Each structure stands twice: as structure tokens, then as C-alpha cells.
Structure 1
Amino acid sequence: MTQDVYVAGVGMIPFTKPGASEPYPQMAAKATRAALADAGIGYELVQQAYVGYVYADSTAGQAALYDVGMSGIPIVNVNNNCSTGSTALFLARQAVASGAAECVLALGFEQMMPGALGAVFKDRPTPFERFDNAANELVDEPQIPLALRYFGGAGLAHMKEYGTKLSTFAKVRAKASRHAANNPLALFRNVVTEEEVMNTPVMWPGVMTRLMACPPTCGAAAAIVCSADFAQRHGLDRSVRIKAQAMTTDKPISFEARDMREVVGFGMAQEAARQVYEAAGIGPQDVDVVELHDCFAQNELLSYEALGLCPVGGAEQFICDGDNSYGGKVVTNPSGGLLSKGHPLGATGLAQCTELVQQLRGTADKRQVEGARLALQHNLGLGGACVVTLYERV
């Protein structure tokens, strides 16, 4: 049997450019203290912790939490590429749902370097070998950095099949900037227009400009999840419940389809969303607000279709009709998303959680989605893993 899991507290720090942040232990400790304060409990009540990061040494989770307290609890270090933060949340929820613990911390942080992502361990096989081979076969652009080749190639596949225009991706980025303008924790808060996005430096002619890619970012975010009994005993907020959650990894179709959209996780996201909708007994049309993995504007467009927010092939019309923002069908990335808020890899999933919990509590200030009752989170990591979480206002 499983029991209900509530998000009793969330916290994050303002995201910054590489070189402008504090060292990761201080960032992580601040986000943890913010989540504890939001929940109204002390660290001594936390029974387990799952700590996510990509670019740090083993047991960096202990180094981060020892600044908060040395209580002897299990601390599990998590690394699942860009879905690391939501993987930590997935494990924390499982611990509470199974009855293994009553109060668990999920924490994510990243202290990143400037520039494009690259390999750290160059003396051993890369976990991206299958993905690199697929990209080399399907996208003949060896001079383009791999992450851009992955997601730009996926966007290009959509453009070729459905006639999607480059300007449509610019509309996605412009929408992100309008949302981020109301988020004091976002890295970029300046509003840009579709035309300005189109006129930024070209990274791949006809496929991507610079502002269509998210920036390397430093930051941290955290969440406290607990059981109903624990919340009742300690007088904690039970207004937000994790209604359903699913985590998926790649299937053979990721490579056998010979489609860059599958290589970057379309099928993983589609299956995770299907599992969540089925478990919750709802459909995508019931969702009020979404935080999804817009590492590139191209991936936001693809994710609309993968999550069922619009029909496959219908994302361009969905965007042009304004159905992805306030006044449309579903508000996507009210935080500004990875494109404007920033993408500190290990923290992203928990920053998404923070935004959606605030939306469901009605405390999102100028970003508030009126009457939000169901909130969907989508966090993707190549290599690969995808976590989809549905939150419910109780």
C-alpha cells in the first residue's frame, strides 16, 4: 500500500551566471534552509535526504547538508543528467509513499562552468555513445556542439515534417521572457520580442539562434515532502499533494526510429505523461499550469506534443494561438522556464517544483495562474531519464 505525499515546503535561491555564484555548499544550504523555513520545521525532523547534482564530486550532497546539520540521516547522492532534481524528488516521494520515512528532503544544486556542456571523464566510454552515433548519422553537422545538434536536430525534424517556421521557436523564447519578467529569482528578466530573438547570433543557420538555447547557470532548490500523519502532527501545510508521478528511460525506439525527436526523449516524455494521466484519472486538458523542460525553444515545442497539450504536429498552431500562456489553454513555464530562469542542471527539477507549489498555493504573485488546481512538471535528462509529476491543490 502507498500513502499520500504532500509537499510541505519549497525553497530556492536566485539563479546566477557561472562565476557569480557562491560555492555549491553555501547555495545548497541556503535553498535547504529556505525549504525548511517554508515548511516550518527544523532539520532535525528530516529523516532522509536525496541530493542531486551533475558536476561535483561524490558525497557533495553530504558536504552541502553538513552546513545545515550533521544528524546522521541517510543522504543519497543522485546524478541523472538534467533530470537530476526531479529524480531526487521521485526518490523522496517513493520513500514517503512506501512508509520508509515520514519526512524527506529533496535537494538539487549546480555550480556550472561557462560555455557549452562537455565531457569531464575523457579516458573512458561516454554514456552518450549511442546518442552521439545517432546524431552523427541523422544530423550531418559535425562542427555544431552536441547538445545543440541533439535538440536543434529534433526541431529541424519537426520543421521538415510539419513546415514549422523558425519564427515559431522565437515566439516560444519571447513568451519565456515575458513570464520571467515577473520572477525575481530568474537569471534573465529582460523582455525580448520575437524579432529580437531572430536577430541574435545564428548558432545553426535556419535552425537556431543564440536566445533559443538556455544559458549555463548556477543555483539550488529544495523541497520537503511528508506523509499526511506527519503533517498533521506537526501542523504543516497540506494544500499541495503529489497526485501522480512517473519516471521513464529510453526504449529501443529512441534509436530505431531514426528520428532526432526520439533521440532527445519524445517517447520517454510521452510514456511518462501517459502513466501519470492514467494514475491520476485525468487528461492533459485538465491541467492548468505546466513547468516543462525547455532547455531549447525547440524542446518546448516538442514537449507540448509529447505531453498531450496539443495534437502531434499541432504545436505551431498551439503557439501562434497563444494557448501556451495566460489567457490560453494552459500556462507553460510561468517561471520563465530554463530559457529565462536558467538551468543549473541538478537544481532545475526542484526549481520547477517550487514554482508549481507556489502556483497551487496561490502565492505566485504576478505570475499567478488564476484558479490553478492541477499542475504538471516535465523534467528531461539525456542519457536518458524523464520524470513527469502531477501536483494537486487539496
Structure 2
Amino acid sequence: MFPKTSLYAALVATVAAHGVHDDQSPILGPHQSLWYNTLPGDGGTQADSVFSGISTFGRLPYVQCLSQRDVKYDLAFIGAPFDIGTSYRPGARFGPSGIRQGSRRLNLYGGYNVPLKTNPFNSWATVLDCGDIPVTSYDHAYALQQIEHGHYNLLTRSPATDANKKGPSLQGKTLPRIITLGGDHTITLPLLRSINRAYGPVSVIHFDSHLDTWKPKVFGGAPTDIASINHGTYFYHAAQEGLLRNDSNIHAGIRTTLSGPSDYENDGYCGFEIVEASQVDKIGTAGIIKKIRERVGTEKPVYLSLDIDTLDPAFAPATGTPETGGWSTRELREIIRGLKGLNIIAADIVEVAPAYDTNAELTTMAAADALYEIMSLMILKGPTSKMVEPSQEEL
């Protein structure tokens, strides 16, 4: 045991060596708008604890954007609680609420993203949680229409920043970015339909353990037109509808079994390149990042779709169709960070089914953390007006 005097001297020396950082302001909490007087007359204030209050993504302000047309935002989170397109385990209709629950701590210490050197909660952007799109659980076809309409409603509004500047949309406007909380992966089809109406065909980065480009007659048997659209066929339909740029789409994290080699052939017709999950052992995260960037490029508008089953079930057990041999949460977050600079105009995260999670909420936390990285990329890139080269008059 050190004498108390020696321990004190050591502490003093350590402080002297590192200096006193009086310029760092204290953490006031992630949501100052909720502060209130704790006791009558004491003059002090206190925010809700991170484990109390109503859950929004990262404790962001909540606005019912779909019913309030005058709301301004640069980035909005919206839920799509739909899971009637699943082939194995249902439950992703509870994904939006579960992800919000798993995101409670994101802003606990102020929200600064150390690896990306940005704070997506405190930046140039107005960021809101717009709640959920009202989605029926009784009519598959009508539900997909609801999702497309709700997403397009939010996507095509004037943003809070640079609303009068040129942007990459079909009408030459700057649009806000929308991140959708799923829901099973079927929701990506109506979301891409919405994106296509605003931007035209887009490049897609698809993180998943499954291809999701299966022909309906192979996956599900397609007894009806409605049954042919599900969470394994939506990219087939997207390709058939001309929603994708066929020369610049990529899957990452694939490790599924197939009906046969022809599945890969059909995948090529849909315009995708494949990065197998096992490639991380050979080329590392840096190699996977390089493949994605080379395939997608840094100029075209990009849609990012993240199925939580990209992660190994050890890290994300609560999903509809788990596959072993996936990436770790650390690997996935590193790969997402490596996409810095890409023109990501919108994104989704899907297949989070909280009922299958552990008491520790492993999957919902992993989903929230992945979205935190995607959100940070969008904030770093700036408004979508930054995706358009300025004219000579503007220089």
C-alpha cells in the first residue's frame, strides 16, 4: 500500500502534467428542452434521465410530421412498422419502437462521434423523429402504398437548410434526407419507388446476409401478384421497375444458402455485385470498403439499405432470418464509417424483431449504433445541395 501522502503527490503530479482544461464546458444533457426545476425554490434544473421519458431516436425532438406540413427538417427518422412480407420469423413491426429504445444512450454524453469527428445531434442540420407511418397489418398491397406515400410526403418537402439552392433531385431541388426504421425488408421496394419519383434510378448499397433478388417463382412460389412481393424478392421487382442503376449496386455481408448457382446469375441481371461476408477474413474491413466505394462511386445519389442480419446472430439475434458467420458490430460500424463522402440521400434499417432479443437489448442497440454512423455520414456530407457542382455565377 502507498502512503496517503505519496498517493496525493502522484495525483497532483498527474494533473500538473496534463494541465487543467478549463475551456471544456460541462455536459448539460442530450435534451435541454426537457429541463425543469427539480425542487421549488432551489434554482436548480434537471433533465430527464436517459432511462426515462418518451423514446425517440437518440432523444431527438418528436413531431408528427405527416400531419404538420409546415415542419422543417434536414434529416428525419420515420418508422415503417410492417412485417407481413417475412418468410420465417415475424415481429419486425415492433422494430421502430425497439430501435428507438436501443438508441437512448446515443446522446448521453453529448453525441460526438469520435472516429468521424462530428456530432450529428448538434450540427448545421435540423434533425427530427417524425414518428411512424400509419401502416395497416391487414392488407399487404395497401400497406406498401401507405409506406411509399408517407415516405414521399416527407422526402419531397423543402428542407430547413439550402431550400432555395440547386440539388440532385429530378426537379433540381435540394431535398431533406429520410432514414426509415423497419419493418421487414419488403419496405425497401416502396421506399425505392418513392426515391425514384424524386431522384430517378439510384445506386444501392445493400448490407444483408441474403441476396433478396430472387425471382418470385423461386422464393415463395408467387401464387398471386401480392404474394410475389416479399422480403426476398423486392430487389427483383425494383430492377424490373427500373428503380436501380444497374451498373453500380452492391451487396455486402452475403452468406446465404441458394436454390442453385442460377440465383447468382439472376442477381447479376438485377445489377448487383456481391461481397461475401467471409471476405472480411481475407481482405479485411479496408478491402470491403474499397470494393463498395469502387462499385458505387462518389458522385451518384446512393440509397443505403441495412438488414440487421448482416451481423452475426451472436451480436444481433433478434431478426427474422438469422444466418451464422456474419460480421461483428465493430466490423460493420467500421465499414459504414469507410463510406464517408458518398452521396447517401436516404437509408433504411430493417428486420429488427425485438421479441427475439436478449434482455440486454443487443440487437436494438446494434441497430441504433449502426444508424448513428449512417446519420453521421449524412451530416458530414452537408445538405444535398452540396452534391451539385456550383455554377460559375455561384463561384
TM-score by length of 1: 0.30
Point out which structure has higher relative CO (alpha carbons under 8 A, 6+ apart): 1
